[in-house]
């Protein structure tokens, strides 16, 4: 019979991983050529066609630019590491996996 605590830990871990993947995708998009983060410091009067204004995206999603910046830092995403790098989030995940006796994801 399956251990309910182990099952709950696995379910929670997968939910957190899914949320972090969504945040990584959003940060990557935000910083891409199509996102509003690609036009910092430039001539804002010549925003490329198809690029949405930051204020419009913030209004549509409810996610402010400062939140994207925090996610980016927490996920270790920067110019040198566009897919992120190991962070405290990864260390906590690994500790939870080890404590639950689950195989690494």
Residue with tokens 């939140």: 67
Tell me, yes or no, if the pTM score tops 0.85: no
Tokens, residue 23:
């945040």
Q: How confident is the model at residue 47 (pLDDT cuts 50, 70, 90)?
A: low
Please check the confidence at residue 42 and state whether its pLDDT lies above 60.
Answer: no
Task: Tell me how crowded residue 23 is: count the other CB atoms within 10 A of its CB.
Answer: 21
Instruction: Please enumerate in sequence order all residues whose Cβ is within 8 A of that of 17, keeping only pairs 6 or more positions apart, or say none.
Output: 93, 105
- At residue 4, the pLDDT reads 62
Integer Cα distance of 13 and 11 in angstroms: 5
| Mean pLDDT of the chain, nearest integer | 77
What is the sign, positive or negative, of the torsion defined by CA atoms of 83, 53, 65, 19?
negative
User: Tell me: the pLDDT tens digits for 53-67?
Assistant: 788 888 999 999 999
pLDDT score recorded for residue 90: 75
Please provide residue 78's backbone torsions phi and psi, each rounded to the nearest 5 degrees.
Answer: -150, -175
Please state the separation of Cα 90 from the chain's center in Å.
13
How deeply is 43 buried, as exposed, middle or buried, from its count of CB atoms within 10 A (0-12, 13-18, 19+)?
exposed
């Amino acid at each position: 019979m399956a251990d309910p605590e182990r099952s709950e830990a696995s379910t929670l871990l997968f939910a957190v991983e899914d949320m972090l993947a969504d945040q990584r995708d959003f940060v990557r998009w935000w910083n891409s050529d199509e996102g509003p983060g690609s036009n910092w410091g430039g001539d804002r009067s010549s925003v490329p066609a198809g690029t949405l204004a930051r204020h419009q995206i913030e209004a549509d999603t409810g996610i402010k630019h400062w939140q994207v910046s925090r996610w980016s830092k927490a996920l270790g995403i920067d110019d040198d590491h566009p897919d992120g790098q190991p962070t405290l989030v990864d260390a906590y995940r690994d500790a939870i996996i080890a404590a639950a006796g689950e195989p690494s994801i």
